[in-house]
Amino acid sequence: MKILVTGGAGFIGSNFINYWLEKYSNDKIINLDILTYAGNLDNLKTIESNPNYTFVKGDICDERLVNELVKNIDLIVHFAAESHVDRSVVSCEDFIRTNVNGTRVLLDAAKNNKGIRFHHISTDEVFGSLGFSDPKFNEFTPYNPKSPYSASKAASDHLVRAYFHTHKLPITISNCSNNYGEYQFPEKLIPLFVTNLLEGKKIPLYGDGKNVRDWIYVGDHNRGVDCVIRKGRIGETYCLGGGNELSNSEITSIILNLLGFGEEMIEYVSDRPGHDLRYAIDITKVERDLNWYPEVDFDAGIKHTINWYKNNKEWWQKIKSGEYRNYYRRQYGT
Ligand code: NAD
Ligand code: TDX
Residue of 174, 181, 152 lying closest to 241 (CA atoms): 174
C-alpha dist (Å) from residue 31 to 197, 203, 238: 33, 34, 24
178 lines ligand 2 (CB under 6 A): yes
Break the chain into its structural domains and give their ranges. 2-332
**Structure confidence at residue 85 as a pLDDT band (50, 70, 90):** very high
Instruction: Output DSSP code: residue 187.
Output: T
Range of lowest pLDDT (39-53, 117-131, 317-331): 317-331
The CA distance from 284 to 290, in Å, is 10
327 lines ligand 2 (CB under 6 A): no
Q: Which amino acid is at 119?
A: H
Substitution site in 36, 79, 83, 85 for ligand 2 pocket (most atoms within 8 Å of beta carbon): 85
The CA distance from 24 to 42, in Å, is 22
What is the CB neighbour count within 10 angstroms for residue 44?
Answer: 22
Average pLDDT over residues 63-77: 98
Give me ligand 1 centre to Cα 82, in Å: 6
Q: Considering Cα of 189, then 191, then 197, then 199, what sign does the dihedral take?
A: negative
The CA distance from 26 to 44, in Å, is 18
Look at residue 334 and tell me whether its pLDDT is greater than 60: no
In CATH terms, the fold of domain 2-332 is Rossmann fold (3.40.50)
3-state secondary structure of 3: strand
Give me ligand 1 centre to Cα 91, in Å: 17
The CA distance from 52 to 315, in Å, is 25
Q: Give the ligand with the smallest distance to the CA of 274.
A: 2
Substitution site in 57, 65, 79, 100 for ligand 1 pocket (most atoms within 8 Å of beta carbon): 79
Query: Which residues participate in catalysis according to the annotation?
Result: 124-125, 149
Give me ligand 1 centre to Cα 221, in Å: 14
Give me ligand 1 centre to Cα 189, in Å: 16
DSSP string for 57-108:
E--TT-HHHHHHHTTT-SEEEE--S---HHHHHH--HHHIIIIIIIHHHHHH
Q: Which amino acid is at 124?
A: D
Look at residue 295 and tell me whether its pLDDT is greater than 60: yes
DSSP string for 231-247:
HPPTT-EEEE--S-EEE
Average pLDDT over residues 139-146: 98
3-state secondary structure of 289: helix
pLDDT digits (tens, 9 = 90+) for 165-223: 999 999 999 999 999 999 999 999 999 999 999 999 999 999 999 999 999 999 999 99
pLDDT digits (tens, 9 = 90+) for 247-284: 999 999 999 999 999 999 999 999 999 999 999 999 99
The CA distance from 265 to 168, in Å, is 53
Give the pTM: 0.97
Q: Give 152's strand partners.
A: none
Residues in the ligand 1 pocket, defined by CB under 6 Å: 6-7, 9-13, 32-36, 38-39, 59-61, 79-81, 83, 98, 102, 121, 123, 153, 176, 178-179, 185
- Residue 135, classified by CB atoms within 10 Å of its CB into exposed (0-12), middle (13-18) or buried (19+), is exposed
